[in-house]
């Protein structure tokens, strides 16, 4: 009998230890080792033992273990409006630049624009949809376009209104940041890497009772869809939702001008450590919602807001060695391997030295005592060298002239500025194995194919094992081989397979961005996608003769200049690039470019703008034209349908060219009339 009890006792103890271990794999390492079902089975067994033998609970109990592997089984729902990110500012100059850009876009000459300032909460973002005042949907951000239905878990937040009464719009979508208070986190800090991780894990529990174990809090900061729209300013909106019972951040404030921005920034940076929640900067938003609407968005972030990050945390350490790293464009970046030091809660052992010129300018040497700083997620930088601590025998660092692959590196001369680049590059593209690996990391990155579970470390591992040599290999992985690797369980393999399969269908612009042509970022990829429309047309670039013709036309696109055209040409002049691109295409289903707003006022028309405009900037005019279905060209050609001539200093030559080609010309006043009609 005694033995039987001992066995039960031991089994119960072992299960609880295992559950804790698997929580660590999930929450701390982000690398689950067993499936949800296996986890649940263990948990059930322990619960049964506790039910039959209540005395077991006196020492340890399943109920006291916080967290369970979050579920992958949430319903996916498309956001009513995309959830974007914010662009960042790190210093006063960046903020002055932001203010200048706002004014330029809106064509405002003198008066200052009111801003609304809020702390940027470092939590998990969610969006709440109230229909006729009733909370009906709660979604995670997901990839910004599609979120996950986590309503039941969100409902466990006590201060979040489930029903709102009063003069509530029919549809009200409130965006918020969910967090765990620093004090509450202290009680559970053994189980999680940080409060943000804990909040994320808690929100993704399958069983809301698990979520309810951890006290979640939130601040509402914005909106998605509101119908009918009744607010005029961000301040109006927050005031009203606060009356309806939402928590809004008490430090939020309307401000105006760069001096006030700097003042409040310093003030809140000083308060920062005393707050019960983590913040990593302040968000500045244009207060007037009408102006926000006019400013609109770029591909990832609104033009009307910016996150001004707090100054980076600094630390002193010593350089052990200077090595080089090769980026996906062949750029050679020097990296200082330093004595490990904690900066802002993270142990740092590498810091970037930017480029050869920077090392020369600061005279940075191996063995030097340096100050480093870390801002956000970016790799830490070397701020300064303490030359007083330098040994006599220290020698100047001689920058290697060769890439890690052995090839000679070069500094290019810019065609536009005729200046020599500060960055050395290896020019071998996929032929350099170091560049090839970085290109793969770009392909799987968030902005490109966005493949969950295939991060940088996994690419390194699969590359070393020769599982992946070029992008198309990602879609032909042998999962049986992966299964044999340590750290890969059934669940993680299944998740990887799902994520890869999902990303096989891709929009043309994402595809163009992913193949990593130099100077073709997300915005340019979109412009090219709207030009080619189909992958078939894009593939004409592979053939020399056809490419020549296409490149001549690319110059007409607003935003595409000589640099980009040359980069496209160089890329496809390389047979290996063409082959690798073709192989990738074979693995994918590439969607045609979606023409949005074909029913706009200028649907399918090609427009060009010349001269300055009185009531708006050229950028705004361009954005309006595109929102109305137009394609905006950068030069006059037969293809152009309308030339819009602004009232200030239009180029005569362009007007004459258009007249010769019998292209319709409209004045700024006529343009305004069409927009208001
Ligand atoms: S405004 C981009 N305000 O930061 C759309 N965002 O980097 C406008 N965040 O996804 C966002 N506090 O999760 C805004 N006061 C605040 C915020 C805030 C935290 C998060 C939010 C967003 C991310 C953007």
Q: Which domains does the chain have, with CATH numbers?
A: 2-66 (1.10.287.610), 78-309 (3.30.470.30), 313-384 (2.40.50.140), 429-503 (1.10.150.20), 507-591 (1.10.150.20), 606-676 (3.40.50.10190)
Atom of ligand 1 nearest to the CA of 249: 15
Using only C-alpha atoms, what is the Rg of the chain? 28
Q: pLDDT at residue 71 above 60?
A: no
Look at ligand 1, atom 24, and give the residue with the nearest C-alpha.
85
Look at ligand 1, atom 18, and give the residue with the nearest C-alpha.
120
Q: pLDDT at residue 28 above 60?
A: no
Residue whose pair of structure tokens reads 């690319």 in the numeric block = 554
pLDDT of residue 228: 95
Handedness of CA 335, 412, 525, 623 (dihedral sign): positive
Range with the poorest average pLDDT among 21-25, 242-246, 268-272, 652-656:
21-25
Instruction: Reply yes or no: is the peptide bond before residue 476 cis, omega within 30 of 0.
Output: no
Q: What mean pLDDT, rounded, does the chain reach? A: 90
Find the mean pLDDT for residues 550-578. Answer: 92
- Ligand 1 centroid distance, CA of 376 (Å): 15
Q: Give the tens place of pLDDT for each residue, 284-319.
A: 999 999 999 999 988 779 999 999 998 777 889 999
Percent of the chain with pLDDT over 90: 60
Do β-strands 631-632 and 606-610 pair in parallel, antiparallel, or remain unpaired?
parallel
Residue whose pair of structure tokens reads 């004014």 in the numeric block = 103
Of the candidates 65, 189, 90, 233, the one whose C-alpha atom is nearest the C-alpha of residue 98 is: 90
pLDDT of residue 177: 97
Find the mean pLDDT for residues 409-427. Answer: 87
Look at ligand 1, atom 13, and give the residue with the nearest C-alpha.
125
Find the mean pLDDT for residues 472-476. Answer: 97
540/550 Cα distance (integer angstroms): 8
DSSP 483-522: HTSTT--HHHHHHHHHHHHHTTEEEHHHHHHHTT-TT--H
Q: How many residues does the chain have?
A: 677
Find the mean pLDDT for residues 206-211. Answer: 82
Look at ligand 1, atom 5, and give the residue with the nearest C-alpha.
84
Find the mean pLDDT for residues 472-478. Answer: 97
Confidence of residue 239 (pLDDT cuts 50, 70, 90): very high
Confidence of residue 418 (pLDDT cuts 50, 70, 90): confident
Q: How far apart are the first and last CA of the chain?
A: 90
- Ligand 1 centroid distance, CA of 282 (Å): 10
Q: Give the tens place of pLDDT for each residue, 426-437.
A: 999 999 999 999
pLDDT of residue 432: 96
Q: pLDDT at residue 69 above 70?
A: no
Burial class (CB in 10 A: 0-12, 13-18, 19+), 394: middle
- Active-site residue, from 13, 52, 103, 120: 120
Q: Give the tens place of pLDDT for each residue, 343-357.
A: 866 788 999 998 888
pLDDT of residue 32: 63
pLDDT of residue 422: 87
Confidence of residue 367 (pLDDT cuts 50, 70, 90): very high
- Ligand 1 centroid distance, CA of 157 (Å): 19
Q: Bridge partners of 555?
A: none
Range with the poorest average pLDDT among 14-18, 376-380, 473-477:
376-380
pLDDT of residue 34: 74
pLDDT of residue 31: 60
pLDDT of residue 111: 83
Could you tell me if 561 and 513 are in contact, meaning their C-beta atoms sit under 8 angstroms apart?
A: no
Atom of ligand 1 nearest to the CA of 252: 15
- Residues in contact with ligand 1 (CB, 6 Å cut-off): 83-86, 118, 120-121, 125, 141, 177, 221-222, 283, 301-302, 305, 307
| Torsion of Cα atoms, 250 then 254 then 258 then 261, to 10° | 0
Q: Give the tens place of pLDDT for each residue, 571-600.
A: 999 999 999 999 999 999 999 997 665 678
pTM summary value = 0.66
21/68 Cα distance (integer angstroms): 11
pLDDT of residue 19: 85
Helix pair angle (433-444, 456-464), 10° resolution: 140
Residues 575-603: b if buried by 16+ CB within 10 A, e if exposed: eebbebbeebbeebebbebeeeeeebebe
Residue of 222, 251, 283, 292 to test ligand 1 pocket, by largest number of atoms within 8 Å of CB? 283
Q: Give the tens place of pLDDT for each residue, 157-202.
A: 989 999 999 899 999 999 999 999 999 998 887 777 778 888 988 8
Tell me how far CA of residue 143 lies from CA of 78, 85, 299, 452, in angstroms.
10, 10, 13, 10
Of the candidates 160, 171, 174, 81, the one whose C-alpha atom is nearest the C-alpha of residue 127 is: 174
- Ligand 1 centroid distance, CA of 458 (Å): 29
Q: pLDDT at residue 61 above 90?
A: no
Respond yes or no: is residue 120 known to be catalytic.
yes
Confidence of residue 226 (pLDDT cuts 50, 70, 90): very high
Tokens of 496: 């990887």
Q: Give the tens place of pLDDT for each residue, 586-644.
A: 999 999 997 665 678 898 899 999 988 888 888 889 888 988 888 888 888 888 999 99
Of the candidates 341, 78, 420, the one whose C-alpha atom is nearest the C-alpha of residue 225 is: 78
């Amino acid at each position: 009998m005694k033995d039987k009890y001992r066995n039960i006792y031991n089994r119960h103890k072992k299960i609880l230890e295992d559950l804790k271990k698997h929580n660590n794999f999930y929450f701390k390492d982000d690398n689950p080792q067993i499936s949800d079902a296996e986890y649940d089975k263990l948990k059930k067994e322990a619960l049964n033992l506790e039910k039959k033998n209540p005395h077991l609970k006196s020492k340890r109990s399943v109920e006291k273990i916080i967290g369970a592997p979050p579920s992958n089984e949430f319903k996916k729902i498309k956001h009513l409006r995309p959830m974007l990110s914010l662009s960042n500012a790190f210093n006063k100059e960046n903020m002055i630049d932001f203010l200048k850009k706002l004014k330029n876009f809106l064509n405002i000459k003198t008066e200052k624009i009111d801003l609304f300032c809020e702390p940027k909460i470092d939590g998990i973002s969610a969006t709440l949809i109230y229909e006729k005042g009733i909370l009906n949907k709660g979604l995670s951000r997901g990839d910004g376009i599609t979120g996950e239905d986590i309503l039941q878990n969100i409902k466990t937040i006590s201060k979040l209104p489930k029903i709102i009464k009063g003069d509530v719009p029919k549809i009200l979508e409130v965006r918020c940041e969910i967090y765990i208070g620093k004090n509450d986190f202290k009680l559970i800090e053994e189980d999680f890497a940080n409060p943000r991780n804990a909040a994320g894990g808690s929100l993704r529990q399958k069983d809301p009772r698990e979520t309810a174990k951890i006290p979640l809090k939130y601040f509402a900061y914005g909106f998605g869809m509101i119908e009918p729209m009744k607010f005029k300013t961000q301040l109006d909106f927050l005031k009203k939702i606060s009356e309806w019972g939402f928590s809004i951040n008490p430090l939020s404030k309307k401000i105006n001008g760069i001096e006030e921005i700097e003042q409040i920034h310093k003030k809140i940076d000083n308060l920062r450590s005393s707050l019960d929640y983590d913040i990593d900067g302040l968000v500045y938003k244009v207060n007037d919602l009408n102006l926000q609407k006019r400013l609109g968005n770029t591909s990832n972030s609104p033009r009307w807001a910016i996150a001004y990050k707090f100054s980076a945390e600094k630390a002193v350490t010593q350089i052990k060695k200077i090595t080089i790293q090769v980026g996906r464009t062949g750029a050679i970046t020097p990296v200082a391997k330093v004595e490990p030091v904690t900066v802002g809660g993270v142990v740092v052992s590498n810091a970037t030295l930017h480029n050869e010129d920077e090392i020369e300018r600061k005279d940075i040497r191996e063995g030097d005592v340096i100050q480093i700083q870390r801002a956000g997620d970016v790799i830490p930088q070397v701020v300064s060298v303490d030359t007083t601590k330098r040994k006599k025998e220290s020698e100047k660092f001689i920058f290697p002239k060769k890439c890690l692959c052995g090839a000679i590196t070069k500094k290019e001369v810019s065609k536009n500025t005729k200046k020599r680049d500060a960055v050395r590059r290896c020019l071998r593209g996929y032929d350099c194995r170091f560049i090839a690996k970085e290109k793969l990391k770009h392909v799987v990155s968030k902005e490109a194919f966005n493949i969950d579970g295939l991060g940088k470390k996994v690419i390194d591992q699969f590359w070393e094992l020769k599982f992946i040599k070029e992008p198309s290999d990602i879609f032909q992985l042998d999962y049986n081989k992966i299964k044999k690797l340590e750290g890969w369980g059934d669940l993680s393999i299944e998740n990887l397979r799902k994520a890869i399969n999902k990303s096989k269908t891709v929009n043309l612009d994402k595809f163009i961005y992913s193949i990593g042509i130099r100077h073709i970022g997300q915005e340019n990829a979109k412009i090219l996608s709207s030009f080619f429309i189909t992958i078939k047309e894009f593939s004409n670039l592979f053939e020399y003769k056809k490419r020549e013709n296409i490149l001549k036309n690319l110059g007409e696109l607003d935003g595409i200049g000589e640099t980009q055209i040359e980069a496209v040409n160089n890329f496809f002049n390389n047979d290996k690039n063409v082959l690798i691109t073709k192989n990738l295409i074979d693995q994918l289903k590439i969607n045609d470019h979606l023409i949005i707003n074909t029913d706009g006022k200028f649907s399918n028309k090609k427009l060009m703008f010349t001269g300055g405009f009185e009531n708006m900037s050229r950028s705004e005019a361009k954005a309006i034209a595109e929102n109305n279905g137009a394609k905006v060209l950068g030069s006059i050609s037969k293809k152009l349908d309308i030339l819009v001539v602004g009232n200030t200093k239009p180029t005569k030559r362009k007007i004459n060219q258009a007249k010769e080609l019998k292209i319709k010309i409209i004045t700024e006043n006529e343009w305004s009339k069409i927009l208001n009609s």
